Amino acid sequence: ELKVEQNPLFLSMQEGKNYTIYCNYSTTSDRLYWYRQDPGKSLESLFVLLSNGAVKQEGRLMASLDTKARLSTLHITAAVHDLSATYFCAVDGGADSNYQLIWGAGTKLIIKP
């Protein structure tokens, strides 16, 4: 059974700082997603990572995937208040799970001015 663990679950940090959110998963998968959710809103797609070594960057966010370690990271550089949100990683469960997404618990990120 595929399990996805995110770490940390909650993070409060000051603007200008860097930090990394980790997403570990338990079995092989071809696809990993990162989403952002603002309070009371639905999910916004950030990154789709499809292969080992994939690295994608958008603004102050950079995501990477190591399929051998079954680990993805979401790195925040020089954080700004607007990045405050809950971030979810999700892993494609493959054929065995009808290609459902298996979700991490989410990381609530608060960035203080």
Binding interface with another protein (CB under 8 A) = 33, 35, 40-45, 48, 88, 92, 94-95, 98-101, 103-106, 108
Structure letter (DSSP) for residue 78: S
Amino acid at 97: S
Rounded distance, CA 82 to CA 9, Å?
19
Choice between 50 and 78, CB closer to another protein? 50
Least Å distance, CB 75 to another protein, is 21
Rounded distance, CA 49 to CA 74, Å?
11
- Asked whether 105 and 6 are in contact (CB, 8 A), the reply is yes
Least Å distance, CB 105 to another protein, is 5
Least Å distance, CB 99 to another protein, is 5
Question: Length of the chain, please?
Answer: 113
Choice between 43 and 69, CB closer to another protein? 43
Choice between 44 and 58, CB closer to another protein? 44
